[in-house]
Amino acid sequence: MALPYWTPHNLLPPGRHPADLADVYERLVFDAPHQNDREILFSALNSYLGVARRIMPTGRAWIGGALTARTPHPPLGLDVVLLPDEWGALKRLDDTGRSALYGLLTLRGVIVGQPAMYLDQVQPVGGMLDGFLCRPGDEEIWEQVWASGGRGIPEVIW
SS3 29: helix
The answer to whether residue 33 sits within a structural domain is yes
Distances, alpha carbon 78 to alpha carbons 82, 95, 105, 111, 138, in Å: 13, 28, 13, 25, 20
The answer to whether residue 126 sits within a structural domain is yes
Domain count, the chain: 1
pLDDT at position 121 over 80: no
The answer to whether residue 157 sits within a structural domain is no
Total-model pTM: 0.91
The answer to whether residue 124 sits within a structural domain is yes
pLDDT digits (tens, 9 = 90+) for 1-60: 799 999 999 999 999 999 999 999 999 999 999 999 999 999 999 999 999 999 999 999
The answer to whether residue 5 sits within a structural domain is no
pLDDT at position 155 over 90: yes
pLDDT digits (tens, 9 = 90+) for 45-87: 999 999 999 999 999 999 999 999 999 999 999 999 999 999 9
Domain of residue 29 covers 17-148
- Please name the residues in contact with 121: beta carbons below 8 A apart, sequence gap of 6 or more: 106, 107, 108, 110
CATH number, residue 110: 3.30.460
CA 97, distance to chain mean position in Å, is 19
The answer to whether residue 2 sits within a structural domain is no
The answer to whether residue 10 sits within a structural domain is no
